[in-house]
Amino acid sequence: MNTTTSSKRAAEIMDENYFGAEIVEKYLGVECLQKDFPFSEKTLKKHRETHVSIVIPSLSILELQALFPCFFYGKKDAWYRSQQFAQNRSEAEAKLIRKSTIKNSLSKTLSEQQLLLSSKEEISDARNIVFATILYFLVTEKRLFSKTYLRCKDVDSFGDRIVVGDFSPLGFCIGGERDSFQFPHLGIATEIKPENLKA
């Protein structure tokens, strides 16, 4: 089975949930290399309604915040400006990110939430969720995670898990919570693992 899908074919399959490099460049105003998606057509078709296929550009959360400060709660005096997770960046990557929290993942500890993930899913970086949420809004004018928070893979210098969400007109919230913390609006951020990686 071919475990890579071209951006052109991914756009045809994912339709309004496709956010390739050309869309990143148009709406974020940053250069972004076009990437094939490391997923089979079958996988894209399976998740075309529940996930977004998106190319995450080589920018950090802080660099995105500098471009669009209005989308971040706290803005210039944000507590995380000195935190490594907010400074992290990598080469452009094609991702398949869930648009909502996993069913029944609210009001659970991290270990309980992890039990809900399939073998083909992994916890998302905060950077991936922040980019996907903001780009989705710029393109569709619809807000993902407007009433929920998501636990991410990152941990801050205090040992707390990074939590993002509550994307309201006041901005996107970024905080930290203990893995044992339970809250009615706190779920978990997930994406599909790339299928073209060698075992």
How is residue 64 annotated by DSSP? H
pTM metric for this prediction: 0.94
Q: What is the pLDDT of residue 197?
A: 63
Q: 199 pLDDT exceeds 50?
A: no
Q: Cα(4)–Cα(51) distance, rounded to whole angstroms? A: 17
Q: Cα(126)–Cα(132) distance, rounded to whole angstroms? A: 10
pLDDT tens-digit readout, 123-162: 999 999 999 999 999 999 999 999 999 999 999 999 999 9
